[in-house]
Structure 1
Amino acid sequence: MANLDRLSDEELLRRTPREPAAFDQFYLRHERLVLSYLRKRTASSDVAIDLAAETFVAALGSVRRYRAQDGPAVAWLIGIARHKLLRSIKRGQVEERARRKLGAGRLELIDERLERVDRLGSRSVEELLAHLRPREAEAIRARVIEELSYPELAERMQCSTLVARKHVSRGLLTLRTIVEHDDV
């Protein structure tokens, strides 16, 4: 078994069906990013934590359908988080069915981590995007916030779809690094 922390997100997801520890590593890499994303959009840390748990349960349940050519794994994961958030808003509650189905409990965090999640939610998107190169920030805004498709993004940026994907991927990687190493 390879050292999992050195594998790309895409490789971790590819290995998950036969090597569950690969998903554990994927989860550890992206837990803070997903929590931050959801905390920024919810009324409380508790709701963000429940939605994050649902997000990772859904990701694990659909990992066989993920295809690297569809975009970066982190964008796929944030898409799942967004779907869970919108669905919970529509229904007015956080679903528990998926977690029960897989035997996953509520994501338990100690008080110190809850406070960190709250502080992550207080950071503005623009504050985070200011750390990126202009083209990467533009790509993240268009793809993640405005939800443009990659062909639409490429047209807007006047580049190929592959180059647009690279801008998004590099931007997300930089944001992940910022969030992971931030001392909030």
Structure 2
Amino acid sequence: MTPEFTGSPEAFEAFYRRHVGEVSRFVARRVDDPYTAADLTADVFLAVIDSAHTYRPERGSEIAWIFGVAHHVVAAERRRARRESAAGRRIAGRRLLEPADIARIEERIDAESAARRVYQALDGVPEGTRRLIELVAVDGLSTAEAAAALGISPIAARVRLHRARKKVSFIFAAGGAHGYA
């Protein structure tokens, strides 16, 4: 059985007027900000509408059910506020970026555009070959050094690079991002 307000807007208005005082007191006992209290009171009634099908008169009074809904709304707000507070604490004390900082970041982004093109070109290359190309073309290792880093022989590395040239030849056409030819 659902509460009587589910039939019409007028019935909901009567239901709201009958319970808004109790709900706002319930919320005000748990929240000290008047704007939050007003928002949560409205949220409670929205949640009541959404969960009207869950009301069972044999389990308790209408106001007890509403308070149960209100408890969940307030608890959800507290969880949200804790997450927001934790996020604020994580960034507290960090300085905001100055215009010079932004300029340096923009310069760094521009300077790394060739490397970004390499990464974009490598989307279709098999994982092992992609890691090898990244080490050589982006990170600047020699073929032998990259082979050692990946645990493969230098010959296998050279063969993979040779095959990769055919797939992504423009990466190496002008000497690669770090002078690989």
TM bucket (normalised to shorter chain) is: 0.3 to 0.5
Of structures 1 and 2, the one with the larger relative CO (CA 8 A, separation 6+) is 1
